[in-house]
Each structure stands twice: as C-alpha cells, then as structure tokens.
Structure 1
Amino acid sequence: MFRRREPVPFAFVAEADRFRSNVAPPPRQRSSAGQTAGRWLLGVTIVAALAGALVLGMPALTLDHSTTDTRQSQASQQR
C-alpha cells in the first residue's frame, strides 16, 4: 500500500486506512409472515407472467409454412 515519506503529526491520520470499528451493527429484524408471503406471491406472479408471455408469444415465433408453399405454387403456376 502507499506509504507516506514524511512524518505525520497525528497518529490517527496515519492509521486511518486501517481503522476498524468495534461497534457491531444491530441484528436484522426477522420479516413477518405477511412480508414472507408477499415476497413469495410476487415471485410466483413474475414467473407466471413470464410463462404466460412465452405461451402467448410462441405462435408469433413459429414459421407458417402454408403461406410460403402457396406463394411458391402460385409462382410455379404462372410460368
């Protein structure tokens, strides 16, 4: 790490980068049953929305071979 070449007049300034607090943060509060149920319901809703979008979007992603075949047959009939 970078060390200073000149002496520092105060010791706490020199050791400021190595300071660790001895105060522990307060413990986390446990979430209530309603909060847990709400998070679970939100997750299920998001997954269901993604699955529904996939199911509804699949027909748009498939190739329709019947229209391609009719165009080719019409073109071959006109020759």
Structure 2
Amino acid sequence: MFRRPEAVPFAFVAESDRFRSNVTPPPRERPSVSQLMGRTLVGLTVVSGLVGSLLFGLPALDTGQSAAHSQRSEASDGR
C-alpha cells in the first residue's frame, strides 16, 4: 500500500470532509419541443413493440389443452 512520506495533520483531514465548493453548476437546459416529441415517440415505439410481441407470443405459448378438451366434449355430445 502507498504511504505518504510527510505527515498529514488531522485537522486538515477532518476539514476536507465538510468542504463544499462555492462554484455553482450552470443551470440545466430545458429540452426543446422536438426533443420531447422524439423521446415520446421512442417510448411509444418500445411499449408498442413489447405489447405486440406479447400478443403474437401468447398463441405460441398455448399448450393446446383447450383444443383437445373441446374435441373431447364434441365427441361426447355426438354419441
């Protein structure tokens, strides 16, 4: 581990813990209307993609038990 060759006074270390800068950062720029519309469009595209993949993916996840059940019920009704 690196050790300093000179001693550091404790008061200096304690003072550095509560040091606050007197330089204020510049104010944040407000996004323009076109930036807001672009962010909204990207968000809507992502959400619609997720919803679309869910709608198209649900039939693929179907186990087919409902189709087999309906065939059995039709066969039992026909007897």
Shorter-chain TM range is: 0.5 to 0.7
Q: TM-score, normalised by structure 2?
A: 0.66
- Match of 2:9? 8
Number of equivalenced pairs:
64
RMSD of aligned alpha carbons: 2.7
1:27-55 C-alpha deviation (Å, 9 max, x unpaired): 00011111100000000000000000000
Q: TM-score, normalised by structure 1?
A: 0.66
How far 1:67 moved relative to its partner? 5.5
- Secondary structure of residue in 2 paired with 1:15: helix
Distance 1:69 1:41 in 2: 43
Distance 1:44 1:7 in 2: 57
How far 1:17 moved relative to its partner? 1.4
Extract unaligned runs of 5+ from structure 2: 1-6, 72-79
Aligned residue type for 1:51: V
Extract unaligned runs of 5+ from structure 1: 1-5, 71-79
- Match of 2:33? 33
How far 1:62 moved relative to its partner? 1.4
